[in-house]
Each structure stands twice: as structure tokens, then as C-alpha cells.
Amino acid sequence: MTYVSNFIIPAVFFLVVGYGLIGRVKIYESFLKGAAEGLKVVLDIVPTLIGLIVGVGVLRASGFFDLLENFLAPVAKICGFPAQILSLLAVKMFSSSAATGLVLDIFSAYGPDSYPGMIASIMMSCTETVFYTMSVYFLAAKVTKTRFTMAGALLATFAGAVASIFLAAGMG
């Protein structure tokens, strides 16, 4: 598996450059053109990243997620899994790296093959950082009113989360 994933990026490079050479593209010049545009793209999203990462950092340090966990514990108890699963879902909507930290906590507490460990593994694989993606992408189009995006994104995330819980239970 790791062999395949180590292979895939160099293979994409090889394919793109090879295809370009065969197609008589001035590959290096077009690479430079694209790369220059890439610099501009990132510069445009720097302010968004600062705003979001500070927001997530403040929220994490404030102990909000611990409070949320305590608050959700009774609900989670009824459903039969630890409250960390619910806060994992909430954290994943803001930050992928913070969510990874939580997953690793769950792995060390219960083991990756346990029921909570499997839920966490599946849930991380089928959800995205909703708010991060929305703010970065909409900024690129300079859009402020996002219409039905939030509803659809939350619905998809919720569907994935529910599916993770049932799939993990089904695997025993």
C-alpha cells in the first residue's frame, strides 16, 4: 500500500512531462508559467489561512472541545461509542491536523482495530474540512454569499459519519 502511494506522485510527474515532450510542448516554459501563477494563488489565500488557523488555535486552546465532549458524552453513551468520536467529527470540519491528533488519541486509548478506532479511521477517510475548504475556495472567487453550500456540505458530512458508525459496527 505504502509502495503504491510512494509511486503515484513521481508517476504523475513522469506522465505529465513525458506527454508534454511527445506533444512538443515547451515544457519548462509552461512549467514556469504555471508555477508563477501558483505563487499568486497562495499569496491570495494567506490572509484566509491566518484567520482560520488562529480561529482554530484559539478554540482548541480555550478548552471548547473538551467542554463539547463532556456535553456530548451522554448522547454518545446511548449510541454506544466514546464521546471523542463526536468531537472528532466537529473538529474535522475545522482542521485536518487537529482531527488527526484526536484520532491518534483514540488509537492509543482503544487501539486502531477496536470499534472506536475503526469508526475514527473510516470517519476521517470519508469527511473533509468543511469550513476550511469553503473559506479558501470561495475566497478564490471572491464570493461572500455561499447559498446552499453549507447545507449540502454538512449533509454529506453527516451521511458519511453515520455510515462510518454503521460500517464499523458491521465489521464487528
Partner 1 sequence: MLNYIWGFMILIGVLCGVATGNMEAVTNAAIDSAGEAISLCITMVGVVALWMGMMQIAQEAGLVDRLTRGISPFLHFLFPRIPRDHPAFGYIATNVIANILGLGWACTPAGLKAMEELANLERERGNPQYLQEGKERVASREMCIFLILNISSLELIPVNMIAYRSQYGSANPARVVAPAIAATLISTITAVLFCKWKDRGMRGRDANK
- Identify residues 102-131 at the interface with partner 1 (CB under 8 A): 103-104, 107-108, 111-113, 117-118, 121-128, 130-131
Q: Which amino acid is at 21?
A: L
Q: Which amino acid is at 169?
A: A
Stretch that binds partner 1, among 24-32, 72-80, 83-91 (CB under 8 A): 24-32
Nearer to partner 1, 4 or 78 (CB): 4
CB 82 → partner 1: shortest distance, Å?
16
- Cα 147 from Cα 124, distance rounded (Å): 26
Q: Build a one-symbol-per-residue string for 57-96: x at contacts with partner 1 by CB under 8 A, - elsewhere.
A: xxxxxxxx-xx--------------------------x--
User: Angle formed by the axes of helices 84-92 and 64-79, to 10°?
Assistant: 130
With CB under 8 A as the contact rule, the residue among 22, 74, 78, 172 that binds partner 1 is 22
Identify which of 44, 49, 54 has the alpha carbon closest to the alpha carbon of residue 135: 49
Sign of CA dihedral 164, 152, 75, 66: positive
Is residue 17 at the binding interface for partner 1, with CB under 8 A as the rule?
A: yes
- Cα 11 from Cα 88, distance rounded (Å): 34
- Cα 138 from Cα 133, distance rounded (Å): 8
With CB under 8 A as the contact rule, the residue among 8, 10, 74, 78 that binds partner 1 is 8
Nearer to partner 1, 82 or 117 (CB): 117
- Identify residues 30-49 at the interface with partner 1 (CB under 8 A): 30-39, 41-43, 45-46, 49
